[in-house]
A and B are shown apart, each in its own frame.
Chain A
């Protein structure tokens, strides 16, 4: 059983469209992280959210942590080809070792 469920698994959109990626769990996390991974490289941290209900913005990316700290979403406005990549969420609990979701593979076509 996957502790963190990400959806959708794959997303193929046109440049300029908006999209939302979801990360859901039945467990409570002390913090939740979002990473982006490009082909042939390791994941790179985008953001860490720690407070229930917290919203963080990173240019065209908006991250939200659920009030109960069990879920999170990543919204991209006006997607660009440079946003193409694998988006991973990772939940951190008491052991401080993160648990990763399976990822959402995003392709943005010019």
Chain B
């Protein structure tokens, strides 16, 4: 299994509070991604990174920010959590562009915003 961990695995928070989710990899892969998964919507890309300090927006980036100061860590921040951000969040990594390489997913973080 690819070395990807996510923390925390579960979190319950209140509306308006900031939340940071962490993705850590030990594979030295260049690309890292944050997705959210909701019933009826499948996986939707929030943000991705193609290198240290190089990030870009995905399909559903509003209300989220990311940072990547080291190859191994990719942080997802909800500046002011809302109930609509209740979801399961997955981090993924790939060594090269996705079409040519496997994308490995972490175990997920279940976030509940009350």
Contact = CB atoms under 8 A, between A and B. Distances in A.
Interface in B80-109: 90, 92, 97-100, 102-108
A41 B107 contact: yes
B43 A43 contact: yes
A103 B42 contact: yes
Contact of A88 (B42, B59, B108): B42
Interface string B33-45: 1010000111111
Chain A contact-residue range equals: 20 to 34
Chain B contact-residue range equals: 20 to 34
Contact of B108 (A30, A40, A44, A103): A40
Nearest to B41: A102
Contacts, number: 53
A97 B58 contact: yes
B99 A31 contact: yes
Nearest to A102: B42
Looking at chain B's contact residues, is the secondary structure mostly helix, strand, loop, or mixed? mixed
Contacts of A43: 43, 90, 105
Nearest to B101: A48
A88 B99 CA distance: 15
B48 interface: yes
A78 interface: no
Contacts of A90: 43
A102 B90 contact: no
User: Which 8 pairs of residues, A with B, have the shortest CB-CB distance?
Assistant: A42-B105, A96-B97, A102-B42, A92-B99, A100-B43, A31-B99, A100-B42, A45-B102
Interface of A: 6, 30-31, 33, 40-45, 48, 50, 88, 90, 92, 96-103
28 contacts: A6-B42, A30-B99, A31-B100, A40-B107, A40-B108, A41-B108, A42-B90, A42-B106, A42-B107, A42-B108, A43-B43, A43-B105, A45-B102, A45-B103, A45-B104, A48-B102, A90-B43, A92-B99, A96-B98, A97-B33, A97-B45, A97-B48, A98-B99, A98-B103, A99-B59, A100-B42, A100-B44, A102-B41
